[in-house]
Amino acid sequence: MMGFFGFASRMEAGKLLAERLEMRHFEEPVVLALPRGGVPVALEVARALKAPLDLILVRKIGVPWQPELAAAAIVDGERRELVFNEEVMALTGVHKEEIERLAEKQIAEIERRRALYLKDRQPVAMAGKTAIVIDDGIATGTTAKAALQALRKRGPKRLVLAVPVAPPDTIEELRPHVDEIVCLEQPTPFYAIGAFYRDFHQVEDEEVVAMLAAAASPGGRSPRG
């Protein structure tokens, strides 16, 4: 897309996304971030919408020799949801049995993050709410699809996917899984999410913990401003 040169940071992207979402006047919004990169984006949205911020603990399962290429994703909820990327599996020859074996490592990481980020905190109830799922961007959509399928089972009144940037074909593939998609930019060609951010540092665990604490304190300032 001509004229789009990227976002300064996840915080800036979150503020721009929040402006777009505020115009939608969603009923009883709940903001759900995909950690770790989606949390700073979601924090800005949660503040603007005066909505609670929660997490969706989902992990990508990469092709063994190319970990950034998602062959599947697993999300933890009332029951675990494993979503396969059939196209990537066909292209790489990775079998379901191998993915299920690789999933065990990601389940362990999900449990580590749950204990660190959420401790004993219970998930926000979704019944009758507008669930707004946020990440810092989407590439193949496998991780987002797993999160959306698991969240739909929690019974939200409306399910919205909101991201700063994603490729047009991935957005179209995800439309059947949501009631609405808000995506600020859909550039082509699309190589990687980080290419559209000037600051795309790896969000660390302590930043996530600090941002969740800031979300729970309306007067608090965003960490790493």
Confidence label for 222 from pLDDT (cuts 50, 70 and 90): very low
**Residue 211 domain-assigned (yes or no):** yes
Mean pLDDT, the chain, rounded, equals: 91
Residues comprising the chain, all counted: 225
Residue 163 domain boundaries: 10-57+115-216
Identity of the residue numbered 112: R
pLDDT digits (tens, 9 = 90+) for 70-116: 899 998 766 788 888 898 999 999 999 999 999 988 999 999 999 99
pLDDT digits (tens, 9 = 90+) for 48-76: 999 999 999 999 999 989 888 889 999 87
The b/e string for 51-75 (b: 16+ C-beta within 10 A; e otherwise) is bbbbbbbbbbbbbeeeeebbbbbbb
Rg for the chain, CA atoms, rounded? 17
Confidence label for 17 from pLDDT (cuts 50, 70 and 90): very high
pLDDT for position 135:
97
pLDDT for position 3:
56
**Residue 180 domain-assigned (yes or no):** yes
pLDDT for position 73:
92
**Residue 133 domain-assigned (yes or no):** yes
pLDDT for position 191:
87
3-state secondary structure of 199: coil
Q: What residues contact 110, with CB distance under 8 A and at least 6 apart?
A: 57, 58, 59, 74, 76
**Residue 156 domain-assigned (yes or no):** yes
pLDDT mean over 168-180: 97
**Residue 183 domain-assigned (yes or no):** yes
Domain total of the chain: 1
Q: Which tokens go with 9?
A: 């940071």
CATH of the domain at 29: 3.40.50.2020
Instruction: Enumerate the H helices of the chain as residue ranges.
Output: 10-22, 38-49, 86-92, 96-113, 142-152, 168-174, 205-216
The b/e string for 15-29 (b: 16+ C-beta within 10 A; e otherwise) is bbbbeebeeeebeeb
**Residue 66 domain-assigned (yes or no):** no
pLDDT mean over 202-225: 76
**Residue 225 domain-assigned (yes or no):** no
